[in-house]
Structure 1
């Protein structure tokens, strides 16, 4: 697998996903030692903070259907990275966030929301790129992504265990927020079109219909058999009206395309959930997690 901007971006993204255990290790000690949270309440708070992870299919449907500035992967990675960086920064620099259990839990929830958005967008980016690549190249990319995540997890736990005895928890939060800022800035410098992905939503037949209307629709003077008289005021107004009509049609067509895309994504998701091999696996995971004591 050749080293490129794309592979570096994917590697950094998955590595940071694995490295998330670094600040979360500090969160546990911060809540117990600084805020004096008991073990049962701590487990409840940590479970509540992970609620955004449950809605990952919804984030995936939105990123598939709604394009931002002609792209639908990197913008969501940037948004998710910013949510995480802002959340960790707020815990450090806002006194109330670092001294109140409930406010801190709210920021942790927002951080997990950003992390889940980044994970969905990054996974989709790898999947879409793998579809265009050869079977061997696709497998190499998936392996590279999982290796990067595993490396991030190992380093996060290792360095987290060392750092927790050397520095305070807020310093660990700042370090992770700085890493997230680097990821966001790296994504801002890359154009998603360079990956060969669709750059925007296409509305079939819109341009053809508008062109056909312009060609087939004769003017009033042509229908009456008269030569058109030059009238700059009338021509300017008609052009403005025509432009406004086309803009409204384009906007409505784009909205219909988004709704149609969402419907297709939901239909595909429901179809996948009806498959026994997927439904049984999800049921097993749900039951196993439900049996974990709080």
Structure 2
């Protein structure tokens, strides 16, 4: 596992540093290849990290005999979520400061060096310190067999199918909204950067709130509530496009920072309760494979969602200079977001556990 993480981190660092030292006449195609390799490395690393968290979340603590319950109640997932959000806030703030002071190549060099530092930190961490179970006799065929057996469980298959479809059926208009805000409303890019920082701060707050107050709520009810909230805020975007908030005296920049930043990350809020649920549903030893399969399904769902968004924007004739159909597109997007709630029965209400001890 560690060797794979090292390879993907090295791939990221190499791609970013290659862009940084390339001449200014570098072709768009070459940059696209470098960025594709970087995204590939980041994606695989993220999947492996999620797999490690899922597996560690099922490891029972061995320090005291009073702590007999596995960490499947979501403590570890919440902690990782909070740590990731802190990193997101710091990264966006750093990027916002650098983007107005340094050239793009200097920024690629700086962040490439940061990824290289991450590579060397990963090298210094011994895999045995994670306490992961090792079984060198398990090959790809054995892993695929265990994954197939896990997916034959209806509660796992139905849950993953619902989660992936909840993204796939929504035609995303994020790119269209970005063009509308920057090209039509002439909102400065620094404002959008601040909105991303605000979004990461809300993700940090969400991790804390979930860990302290919401873990006992039914996953089905909590995820359905998040889905409904996403649709509600999309209707708020309709009012924004039609100038309703502007007439009330609310600045466009203020709306973009708060509501747009919050809506952008709200799509990911249901990841936390769902991964906690899935870790509880997974058979012992198959957590990593199931989590990797989930992330692959979600990635495919986002691709489908993006294509649907492009098709919708084309159908209602949204162009770079004509956004008259954007409000209708947002209404359709919100309606599609509500659809998964009607088959939310695919998500289990609760997961029965044998051990009733408190953490």
- TM-score, structure 2 normalization: 0.45
User: Contact conserved, 1:12 with 1:148, CA < 8 A, in 2?
Assistant: no
| Aligned alpha-carbon RMSD (Å) | 3.6
> Taking structure 1 as reference, are residues 178 and 20 closer, same or farther at Cα in structure 2, changes over 3 Å only?
closer
Count of residues in correspondence between the two structures: 195
* Aligned equivalents of 2:176, 2:197: Cα separation in 1: 16
Alignment of 1:88-237 (within 5 A): 88-93=234-239, 95=242, 96-97=244-245, 100-101=251-252, 102-112=254-264, 114-130=266-282, 133-136=283-286, 138-167=287-316, 168-187=325-344, 191-193=348-350, 196-197=351-352
C-alpha deviations, 1:47-79, integer Å up to 9, x for none?
A: 4344322335314413664x23xx3x2222122
**How many angstroms does 1:2 deviate by?**
2.2
- Gap runs ≥5 in structure 1: 205-260, 265-294
Deviates more, 1:28-37 or 1:153-162: 153-162
* Aligned equivalents of 1:21, 1:52: Cα separation in 2: 24
- The answer as to 2:168 corresponding to 1:13 is no
C-alpha deviations, 1:95-142, integer Å up to 9, x for none?
A: 424885223543334435643431111111111112xx1434x45532
> Taking structure 1 as reference, are residues 183 and 159 closer, same or farther at Cα in structure 2, changes over 3 Å only?
closer
User: Contact conserved, 1:77 with 1:118, CA < 8 A, in 2?
Assistant: yes
Q: Secondary structure at the match of 1:22?
A: coil
User: Contact conserved, 1:14 with 1:152, CA < 8 A, in 2?
Assistant: yes
Name whichever structure is richer in helix by fraction. Answer: 1
* Aligned equivalents of 2:267, 2:331: Cα separation in 1: 16
- TM-score, structure 1 normalization: 0.53
- Give the equivalent residue in structure 2 for 1:77: 223
* Aligned equivalents of 2:164, 2:313: Cα separation in 1: 23
Q: Which of the numbers 182, 186, 198 marks the counterpart of 1:32?
A: 182
> Taking structure 1 as reference, are residues 4 and 172 closer, same or farther at Cα in structure 2, changes over 3 Å only?
farther
User: Contact conserved, 1:88 with 1:177, CA < 8 A, in 2?
Assistant: yes
**How many angstroms does 1:29 deviate by?**
1.6
Larger Rg: 1
User: Contact conserved, 1:85 with 1:177, CA < 8 A, in 2?
Assistant: yes
